[in-house]
Structure 1
Amino acid sequence: MENKTLMTDFYELTMAQTYFDQGEKDKKAYFDVFFRESPFHGGYAIAGGLDGLVEYIKKFYISEEDIAYLRSLGNFTEDFLSYLKELKFSGDIYSVEDGTPVFPNEPVITVRANVIEAQLIETALLANFNHATLVTTAAKRITTAASGIPVMEFGARRARGIDSAIEASKYSYVGGCIGTSNVLAAKMYDIPVLGTMAHSMICDADNEYEAFLAYAKSNPNNCVFLVDTFDTLKSGIPNAIKVANDYLIPNNYPFKGIRIDSGDLAYLSKQARKLLDDAGYADAGICLSNGLNENTIKSLIDQGAYINSIGCGDNIAASLERIGGVYKLVAVEREAKLIPKIKVTNDIMKTINPGYKKVYRFYDKKTGYALGDVLALADEVIPEDGYTLISPTEEWKKTYISGYEVKNLQVLVFKNGKQVYEVPSIQERKLYCEEQFRTIYPEIKRSVNPHEYYVDLTENLLGLKKKLIRNSMNFVHS
């Protein structure tokens, strides 16, 4: 990845100039990355993008060319530009690992760094986190709805640019897809590459049969015919069967199946199954596509559609949904003392959880299910024999839990600017995602009206939050 350090919002640099002028360039600041609502009106998100964060930080520097550009803007002093020229990331970064189910208002990434470094990396961290987490979550929702039916990702042409398409293919694989149509992504990340054929080839040929036959001769071991160009039941499937009879089977090649990309998919798949079975091709699969999402997939399954595989693009690589991840200051260090910070607004949803924190997850020892998460101040110790979860907004709601194992969800990724975390392979991340997803109760994974997962605060953290809110009100009214 080329140097993209200047992929930052302009105000990050103007604020950095101010910190520099005030002599605060070495002040340590703590920032949390979190989101306020789960995407798709769902009950969870799946963390993604840690590998991209690592690559960005490893290549964080401001080049001579960058300095020349910044100088041309006329906003920055020469002393500040000289400082930027020597700047390297020297801080600490903690993060939840890719593939982990995460929930609103808990820190997925925590940055502790000199305030200028911490500000300059904000935009890139959020862009990376928001896109990767959205794609991974979309893929997990769709593959969950598919209930074991393999889902192929082929949304490259719908993505928001080439880089976005490549990243979407990667994170959709982590999120549960079996492979991608994107050849470059498959090559770069060792993802299975998959695909069938397009309508254009069929339209270009003299007739549908000749198009299928030509394709079969060139791709005899991977024949999945697209059968809905003209008439799925009267033309497409009969021609696919005829090519199987005339060429594939006589030459000992398999008839892999058909893809249907339009029309009433439930009805057509049922009729297709009958035609294929009657022709002696019970092993030929049926792939369905056409803008499918978790709701349409579930509906197809409920209607008894025959589906051996699913092709999904738009609603993974180009979803109109968003994560809305934010990057908020939660503490600073002054004279070796940690000072918690809070943002308080009229919108209670935007009142953050202050201080340097850790996020812990409780797992039931008997079932393996996650019982809930708790945010704790970094120096707090979570007991291992019993704990009471207390709602941060409705304190009378208390849940006592016991018989659990507790895990700190964040891992140390960078220490004093040095990478200390080895990013797992994409196959390892995919398996980890599957394992962690199994720990979440089915009620929370529902695509419609999911149960709310517990994300609570320790009493100490809740008390700190209340105190800072009161102090901020005193400041407003003083």
Structure 2
Amino acid sequence: MISVEQKDKIDPRVRERAMVRVNEIARLPVYRDRPAALVTDLYQLTMMYGYFRAGRHQQRVVFDLFYRNNPSENGYVIAAGLEQVVWYLNQLQFRGEELEYLRSLNMFSDAFIDKLQDFRFTGDVYAVPEGTIVFPNEPLVRVEGPIFEVQLIESALLTFVNHQSLIATKTQRIVDAAATSSGTAGPVIEMGLRRAQNMDASVFGARAAFIGGCVGTSNVLAGQCFDIPVMGTMGHSWIQSFPSELDAFRAYADTFPDNTVLLIDTYDVLKSGIQNAIIVARELEAKGKTLRGVRIDSGDLAYLSKRVRSILDAAGLPYVGITASSDLDEWIIRDLIIQGAAFTAWGVGTRLITSYDTPSLGGVYKLVAHERDGVMHPSIKISENAEKVTNPGKKKVLRFYVDGHASADLIALDDETFNTSEPLELFDPVHTYKRKVIRNYEVENLLVPVFLNGELVYELPTLRQIRQRVENGLSHFSSEILRPVKPHIYHVDLSKKLWELKHHLLHEFRPE
């Protein structure tokens, strides 16, 4: 828990700006007037009731939120979802209808329901800023406070961070694939609203996709809420509803003469679609306008795009772009580029918004310290599966830079200090013979204070600032770590003090 003296050192202007920003966010349609206290699993409430009955509800604890494995066989994850966490904790309370529902379950006493009526989050939260490049087992969020509060928020924090981190990471893989070949690559547009699991998944997925590098979204609500450029033209039904394809194209160009992109695969791309698109392009030129592009949504995309490019160029229309859609992902895009496809933009839907190959990040929220007799003691979860053994204690995550390049991360106990003028030996926490010495390094503490004693002290960045953080962060890592296939494993080690504590607790609770 932060001391009063430490809390007083926080610039009150930062707190004021933080509250102004979060209140702006709370007024967005996707957040406004949304009850969230029951966005939790029942077992969180049953445990809270048990703590309350046992008189242990004020016991202070520390939980870490982290994940164990990178999705899609990637080498890293882009942390996202903190804005939603801040909104949730800032307004978290039980409303009348929620309390009445819980009362109707006949599981909880009136005294417990009354306790919930006064619920407010009063704990401390440290988190990595959105857009940070992170790795397995690193705490992305650290929460400290009364167990009554810290237990409740587990489910909500996990769904917010797991989902948006997953989609941001998947998007970056797709965007990276579209940037692998100059001249044939192009911007990626998120178009997954109709295939997302529900409305929230589509809106917050579009937000995460912008963090991951998409230039825009087809999702209008996401555009309104998060100031993401909205993009889109027509569906096949538009063309089918007119007497002819040419009539449909002309009507659309007349309606949107400054932003005409024509869908050319409704009937026949080469014999009909592109021919009619050229007619409309000529008519636009006569009016001093230009055809922005055409889109192909089916068929042999590589073959068709090359033929369409050739036809457009021969018609004196080299400025007309070609957009691809049709269940694209990073592998299909990469393969199309290898085949010499002539696309200048990519519309990606299903496989992005659902992270089709890896639909869940699998983040967890684990108790790592608990108060006993007024003293905080480290806690450990032990499992027959080695990867599920937790790292105990209140921790921080340090990133070491050598000559501007990220060299290694270190998970250390929160009270540890390191002298940057001295060499530092790092070792693999499992294969301890693997050691690495770094010198002349700079250190970044990835966890920053977000809430202290329940008070918001973190000014949420804009979405574009988060996106810029992704780009800056990626620039510090080697291409071997960033590559999409069999990436080099980045060093994430435990400090010697943490490693010794972990093994001491392993022997204490699982004696030989």
**Corresponding residue for 1:185?**
222
User: Do 1:90 and 1:416's aligned partners in 2 also have CA atoms closer than 8 Å?
Assistant: yes
**Structure 1 residue 254 and structure 2 residue 290: aligned?**
yes
User: Do 1:289 and 1:310's aligned partners in 2 also have CA atoms closer than 8 Å?
Assistant: yes
Q: 1:410 deviation in Å?
A: 0.8
User: How far apart, in 1, do the equivalents of 2:443 and 2:235 lie?
Assistant: 50
User: How far apart, in 2, do the equivalents of 1:109 and 1:216 lie?
Assistant: 50
Q: What RMSD, in angstroms, separates the aligned Cα atoms of the two structures? A: 1.1
Cα deviation code 1:71-122 (max 9, x no counterpart): 1111111221111111110000000011111110110000001001001000
Q: For this pair of structures, how many residues does the alignment match?
A: 472
* Structure 1 counterpart of 2:37, one-letter code: T
**Corresponding residue for 2:367?**
329
Please, which of 314, 317, 340 is the counterpart of residue 304 of structure 1? 340
Please, which of 60, 73, 78 is the counterpart of residue 46 of structure 1? 78
**Corresponding residue for 2:39?**
7
Cα deviation code 1:333-390 (max 9, x no counterpart): 223312101111111111111110000011122xx22111000000001231321221
**Structure 1 residue 293 and structure 2 residue 329: aligned?**
yes
User: How far apart, in 1, do the equivalents of 2:409 and 2:303 lie?
Assistant: 44
User: How far apart, in 2, do the equivalents of 1:244 and 1:220 lie?
Assistant: 10
User: How far apart, in 2, do the equivalents of 1:113 and 1:82 lie?
Assistant: 20
Q: 1:318 deviation in Å?
A: 1.7
Q: 1:189 deviation in Å?
A: 1.1
* Structure 1 counterpart of 2:84, one-letter code: G
User: How far apart, in 2, do the equivalents of 1:453 and 1:416 lie?
Assistant: 35
User: How far apart, in 2, do the equivalents of 1:60 and 1:370 lie?
Assistant: 37
**Corresponding residue for 2:189?**
152
Please, which of 337, 347, 352 is the counterpart of residue 385 of structure 2? 347
Please, which of 124, 131, 134 is the counterpart of residue 92 of structure 1? 124
**Corresponding residue for 1:70?**
102
SS in 1 for 2:459: coil
User: How far apart, in 1, do the equivalents of 2:411 and 2:127 lie?
Assistant: 14
* Structure 1 counterpart of 2:55, one-letter code: G
Deviates more, 1:27-36 or 1:143-152: 143-152
* Structure 2 counterpart of 1:328, one-letter code: K
**Corresponding residue for 2:413?**
377
User: How far apart, in 2, do the equivalents of 1:278 and 1:455 lie?
Assistant: 55
**Structure 1 residue 56 and structure 2 residue 92: aligned?**
no
SS in 1 for 2:295: strand
**Corresponding residue for 1:194?**
231
SS in 2 for 1:222: coil
SS in 2 for 1:205: coil
User: How far apart, in 1, do the equivalents of 2:128 and 2:242 lie?
Assistant: 52
SS in 1 for 2:143: strand
Q: 1:319 deviation in Å?
A: 2.1
**Structure 1 residue 362 and structure 2 residue 397: aligned?**
no
User: How far apart, in 1, do the equivalents of 2:375 and 2:414 lie?
Assistant: 14
User: Do 1:35 and 1:325's aligned partners in 2 also have CA atoms closer than 8 Å?
Assistant: yes
SS in 1 for 2:392: coil
Cα deviation code 1:241-291 (max 9, x no counterpart): 01111x211001111111111111111111111000000001111111111
**Corresponding residue for 1:30?**
62
Deviates more, 1:355-364 or 1:59-68: 59-68
**Structure 1 residue 469 and structure 2 residue 492: aligned?**
no
Q: 1:403 deviation in Å?
A: 2.4
User: How far apart, in 1, do the equivalents of 2:221 and 2:96 lie?
Assistant: 32
Gaps of 5+ in 2: 1-30, 180-184
Q: 1:197 deviation in Å?
A: 1.4
Please, which of 222, 225, 231 is the counterpart of residue 262 of structure 2? 225
Return the TM-score normalized by structure 1. Answer: 0.97
Percent of matched pairs sharing the same residue = 44
Please, which of 141, 151, 155 is the counterpart of residue 119 of structure 1? 151
Q: 1:24 deviation in Å?
A: 0.9
Q: Would you identify which runs of 4 or more consecutive aligned residues in structure 1 move more than 6 Å?
A: none
* Structure 2 counterpart of 1:307, one-letter code: F
Q: 1:23 deviation in Å?
A: 1.0
Cα deviation code 1:426-459 (max 9, x no counterpart): 1111111111121121111111111111110000
**Corresponding residue for 1:17?**
49
**Structure 1 residue 82 and structure 2 residue 114: aligned?**
yes
